[in-house]
Amino acid sequence: MTLTARSAEFANHFNRQAGVSQALARIAQADGQGARTFLKVASGTEKIAAGMDRDARQGQPLPPTAGLIVSIKDLFDIAGDVTTSGSVLLRDAAPAARDAEVVQRLKQAGFIAIGRTNMTEFAFSGLGLNPHYGTPLNPYDRKSSRIPGGSSSGAAVSVTDGMCDIALGTDTGGSCRIPAALCGLVGFKPTAFRIPQAGVMPLSPTLDSVGSIGHSVACCGIVDAVISGEPFASSEAGDGRNPTLGIPTSYVFDDIDDITARTFDRAIARLKTSGVTVVDIDLPELHEIPTVNGKGGFAAREAYLFHARWIAAKRDAYDPRVLIRILKGEAQTDADYAILKEQRVSLIARVTARLNGVDALVMPTVPRIAPTLKELETDEAFGRINLMMLRNPTIANMLDQCSISLPCHAPGDAPVGLMLIGKHGQDRQLLRMAEGIERTLQSPAE
């Protein structure tokens, strides 16, 4: 059930407590997904929901989102909880004194925080594996132990399995959009400056964004409105004009698998039939991104400076596959970092100049369906597939743009994401556009 449908149901039937009880029951199910999905389940949530139901029965006004259930990625401070960031290193750290700003805003809007979700340690991978707490499995094919994607792995599974209505996550290089694509959900990455990051454990302050994962564009749009402090506007408030989308002619289709290619092509064909204009666009600058990030990029440099003291004291506590990525930043000099910032400014300017005439870029979110855990057993395979998954989503973070991943596969097929990358600061326009595209992709095929 979508977030907006749940809002109407709560308003009409005052069953917030029942919704929370059902979510808790799903978390507690014996198949192990709840234990791998949540690092901590919040206490007192049924009491909070019951209080909202009582207030509603007595005629007291409540926010329209009151009683909606949100899971919180383990990067966000919640007063009284330890923010471990999916690590064992921080298990004995002091609890947070206050909620992160975005968590506080959600609570003020009546959202009920059901618990803290599992993630890649310190958010430094797009695959979602966690050797400390286990990896929640992709609901599409659990029998084959397919990964959920990351780093917001538990966030995505908490939504697919009905443990919450919406998930709060972060996105530094695709960490909301990758798991959304692999699990058949919607994942939104806003323009970074729009959402406050106070109380959020950083990976790369230059690239970090606070986003969400949900069943629909409207779900993510409502959460974005709450945490950004901007009014919510659905697609009905748009100008009714069919958008023009640009498909990069190279780079984003490298190493694409047959399932993803066929599914994406069918989706584009449907969009064209519906009146959306789709044009090829040459963006040779995208090929520069791997070279610009050759020494680990912003994430490695900024993560290393943040983690250096912990690495010196407790190096062995880290996931080795995360540690090796952080340590790339050790070799970066101040001069390297200054050049990196200049290169980013240049990339943004040159790509922006090519986007005149298109409303958004469109491409596969990731070039392949979810791999299995077995495929990632070797460090070589892990590193190669991780870079492959991050490649397309990272474009938006490097260019400081907003982006959203929409499911575009047929029911029952392997999940495939269609990603839109909008322009800097035009998040509400992108969300309205995405709602229209979502309707086209979900309408019965002719």
**Residue 83 domain-assigned?**
yes
Sequential DSSP letters for 10-23 = HHHH--HHHHHHHH
* % pLDDT > 70, the chain: 95
Rounded Cα gap, residues 18 and 52, in angstroms: 12
More confident site: 10 or 48 = 48
pLDDT in tens, 207-245: 999 999 999 999 999 999 999 999 876 655 455 689 999
Q: Is residue 189 part of a domain?
A: yes
**Across 406-422, average pLDDT:** 98
Residue with tokens 């960490």: 175
Helices (H), 86-240: 101-108, 153-160, 177-183, 217-228
Q: Is residue 323 part of a domain?
A: no
Give me the catalytic one of 85, 175, 204, 216: 175
Residue type at position 10? F
Residue 73 appears among annotated catalytic residues? yes
Q: Is 134 exposed, middle or buried (0-12, 13-18, 19+ CB in 10 A)?
A: middle
Helix H segments across 109-216? 153-160, 177-183
For residue 6, give the 3-state DSSP assignment: helix
Asked whether residue 302 carries a pLDDT value surpassing 50, the answer given is: yes
- Say whether pLDDT at 10 is over 60: no
Active-site choice (73, 189, 328, 423): 73
Tell me, yes or no, whether 330 lies in a domain: no
**Is 403 among the catalytic positions?**
no
| Mean pLDDT across 71-97 | 98
Per-residue pLDDT of 182-198, as tens digits, reads 999 999 999 999 999 99
Domain contains 201: yes
Q: Give 364-396 as a DSSP string.
A: ESSSSPPPBTGGG-SHHHHHHHHHHHHHHHHHH
How much is the pLDDT for 235? Answer: 53
Q: Would you call 205 helix, strand, or coil by DSSP?
A: coil
Does the pLDDT of residue 84 top 90, yes or no? Answer: yes
Pairing of strands 403-407, 277-281: unpaired
User: What are residue 71's DSSP bridge partners?
Assistant: 115, 167
- Average pLDDT value for residue range 405-433: 97
Q: How far apart are CA 374 and CA 378, in angstroms?
A: 9
Quote the radius of gyration of the chain (alpha carbons, Å). 21
Domain ranges, residue 30: 3-282+362-442
The CATH number of the domain holding residue 178 is: 3.90.1300.10
Given the residues 71, 85, 125, 151, the one annotated as active site = 151
Residue 356, by phi and psi: left (phi above 0), alpha (psi -120 to 50) or beta? beta
Backbone angles phi, psi at 411, to 5 degrees: -55, 130
**Residues forming a β-bridge with 82:** none
Q: Is 423 a catalytic residue?
A: no
Q: Give the pair of three-digit tokens for residue 373.
A: 């855990």
Instruction: Supply the pLDDT for residue 236.
Output: 55
Scanning the structure block, which residue is given the tokens 């692999």?
182
Both structure tokens of 23: 């979510």
Token representation of residue 276: 């959306």
**Mean pLDDT highest for which of 1-10, 12-21, 213-222?**
213-222
Classify residue 294: in a domain, yes or no.
no
329 part of a folded domain: no
Q: How many domains does the chain have?
A: 1
Q: Are strands 277-281 and 244-248 parallel, antiparallel or unpaired?
A: parallel
Partners of residue 113 on adjacent β-strands: 70
The larger pLDDT score, comparing residue 12 to residue 132, is at 132
In a domain, residue 334? The reply is no
DSSP class of residue 142 equals G
Instruction: Please state the φ and ψ torsions of residue 378, each to the nearest 5 degrees.
Output: -90, 150
Q: Which two tokens stand for residue 259?
A: 């399932």
Which DSSP string corresponds to 248-300? ESSSTTTT--HHHHHHHHHHHHHHHHTT-EEEEE--GGGGGHHHHTTT-HHHH
Structure pTM? 0.96
Q: Residue-wise over 283-302: b if at least 16 C-beta within 10 A, else e?
A: bebbebbeebbebbbbbbbb
> For residue 317, which of 149, 39, 86 has the smallest C-alpha distance?
86
Asked if residue 114 has pLDDT above 60, the reply is: yes
Kindly report the backbone phi and psi dihedral angles of residue 148, in degrees, each rounded to the nearest multiple of 5, phi listed first: -90, -15
pLDDT, tens digit (0-9, with 9 covering 90-100), for 252-287: 999 999 999 999 999 999 999 999 999 999 999 999
Residue type, 318: Y
pLDDT digits (tens, 9 = 90+) for 17-70: 999 999 999 999 978 899 999 999 999 999 999 999 999 999 999 999 999 999
The per-residue pLDDT for range 309-359, each reduced to its tens digit, is 999 999 999 999 999 999 999 999 999 999 999 999 999 999 999 999 999
> What span, in angstroms and rounded, lies between the C-alpha atoms of 248 and 104?
39
